[in-house]
Amino acid sequence: MTARRLVALAVILLSAAGAQAEDGYELWLRYRPVSDPAVRRSYRASITGVAIEGSSPTLRAAREEAVRGLRGLLGADIPFVPGVAQDGLLVAGTPARSSLVAAADLGADLGRTGEEGFVIRSTRVAGKRSTVIAANTDAGVLYGVFRFLQLLQTHQPIQSLALVEAPRIRHRVLNHWDNLDRTVERGYAGFSLWDWHKLPDYVDPRVTDYARANASIGVNGAVLTNVNANATSLLPEYLAKASALAAVLRPWGIRVYLTARFSAPVEIGGLKTADPLAPEVAAWWKRKADEIYALIPDFGGFLVKANSEGQPGPQDYGRTHADGANVLADAVAPHGGIVMWRAFVYSNEVPDDRAKQAWNEFTPLDGAFRPNVLVQVKNGPIDFQPREPFHPLFGAMPKTPLMMEFQITQEYLGFATHLVYLAPLFEEVLRADTRSKGEDSTVARVVDGSLHGYARTGIAGVANVGTDRNWCGSAFRLGPCPHVRRDRRRMDPPDVRERPRPRVSGEGDDARLAGGGGGLHDPARAPPPDGRGPSLRPRPLGQPGAAGRLDLRLLPPGRRERHRLRSDRRRQQRGLPVLPAGGGGLRQPRQSAGEAPALVPPRELGPAHGLGPLALGGSGAPLLRWRRVRAPHAGHLERARRPG
């Protein structure tokens, strides 16, 4: 082998190693060394030791995360110290478990943080300059550690910190539409993370990384099973499997929930009815709840889809949604559990307009639900459409806690193949004013309970994670996995009404996606920040060197046309716009009358910050391959809508 070939082989192997290292698995928790030498030196001078007192599983998780993060970001091991002997100590804990935190005298601030909030303050402990992360609970300490590491990742000054943060929403839950055979409804990212066949004896280590990622943004609940429920998940052998998952998620502050099939008393309980007002049915659900809590003491409760798309429910017995929810609520109430009863009631048996069916069925029941029931309402009245108004139930049920349900998986937005930034869609809904109690009666204030005084609050996202290495199933998501928005609003979504501003993704996804460099890689620019890989900028169709595309000019005319037609058919099957052979705009693939258009005009046109000029701003904007390298404008969209 010649020297030239050896050099070429070495370059290929090194490039492959680099590509493997940047595969998206670590998401925003990459903890690459701070790229600015001056900032890194400043951080090292400010953090000379770490003291996290306490031995609970959650505090151990916080300690391990601090070690991992500081070692990666500062490029040095920061020692753990038993006491205050020098300046620059990072102290974390609760006043009840840590004498150092108690000595910081942060009681006034901690009175504002509740159970899951935290305080990060630059102060003096025993006369030494220190940074204290204090909370009332171990989970709050964990959230505070993640927040402090985020400050380092984004190169924020840490010499004079005075942060007091607390979530306004109590239940922050991911809904996994995962089946017991590990298929995932609307998943698009491989199989389910929950390997039911190997549980409870073996739990995939990925579950821990899943928990870390969720804890870092304040998610505190996971519904393990599909809303189109299978009663088998409530059998003893499957409850033992769920218990094994709960044991892994618990140290990270995450409770598990299960979906309850309403007909379970008949299907697995041996009863002849599932009528919620039948005493034997209520007794069966109570026994089942007791059985679950014996295995999972911190079980969150049930999520229920009933009398919708063929699912059984209380209306099968002439009862109301309140009757059905209350029988489950009574079963879990002694254990502190909740019931999330979905308001998505799309039933062919009811001759009603789909957009108003939930209104007709739920508004008469306002005030009829038990206190531990939350009615879970989709953001819009149809079904997670790219563009639809906010759901009319928000603001219409002042006596019943309503929790928001967003769809994070892109069922109507290109599956896992289109680049869509969902944050503007979510913010638009939360900022919408219901006017139910005058001006500023926003959906956000309904969800956080401040408008109607809800005692319980919640928000849910239909998750998009799976066994794909990058979690979300698309090369476009190597890091900005849309199941979260990583920024200071991660635990406090209602403040969108208080700080309106342009959507800048760099604040949320920040340096984690650019090797710690402080900004996202713009796909429209070359080379990338680290200079190691090719530009992601697309080239015109057929241009020599265009990644992944054959140079059609090298083919004979007949083969050229056949190749183009095969390509068009493949794009149509995937629901993508068809690139025409000649000039002009994009053609839409042929669609049936019931299918939604593949390209949805966004609310605003313009480049999305941090995503390059080829990404349309606003919600519902896929990344398209334009024939010419230029930013799209309204004319492109208009041509794309024409039949072709």
Cite the active site residues: 309, 383, 411
| 460 CB-side CA count, 13 A | 24
List phi, psi (to 5°) of 641: -85, -15
Pick from 521, 410, 425, 405: nearest CA to 472:
410
Per-residue tokens: 316: 């099968």
**Residue 277's Cα: distance from chain center in Å?**
37
Q: Yes or no: say if 356 and 346 are a contact pair by the CB < 8 Å rule.
A: no
List phi, psi (to 5°) of 302: -115, 145
In the chain the first and final C-alpha atoms are separated, in Å, by 54
- Report the phi/psi class of residue 269: left, alpha or beta, with left for phi > 0 and alpha for psi in -120 to 50: alpha
394 DSSP 8-state letter: T
Q: Yes or no: say if 408 and 423 are a contact pair by the CB < 8 Å rule.
A: no
Cα 145 to Cα 157: distance, rounded to the nearest angstrom: 16
308 DSSP 8-state letter: S
The residues, ordered by sequence, that sit 6+ positions from 418 with a Cβ below 8 Å of its Cβ are 410, 476, 622, 623
Cα 522 to Cα 613: distance, rounded to the nearest angstrom: 8
Pick from 65, 68, 63: nearest CA to 51:
63
List phi, psi (to 5°) of 342: -75, 140
Q: Yes or no: say if 419 and 432 are a contact pair by the CB < 8 Å rule.
A: no
**Residue 237's Cα: distance from chain center in Å?**
29
For strands 162-165 and 128-134, give the pairing.
unpaired
235 DSSP 8-state letter: S
Helix (H, G, I), strand (E, B) or coil at 175: strand
Stretch (H or E) spanning 338: strand 338-342
Helix (H, G, I), strand (E, B) or coil at 624: coil
Q: Yes or no: say if 313 and 307 are a contact pair by the CB < 8 Å rule.
A: yes
Q: Yes or no: say if 224 and 194 are a contact pair by the CB < 8 Å rule.
A: yes
Q: Yes or no: say if 193 and 199 are a contact pair by the CB < 8 Å rule.
A: no
Helix (H, G, I), strand (E, B) or coil at 376: strand
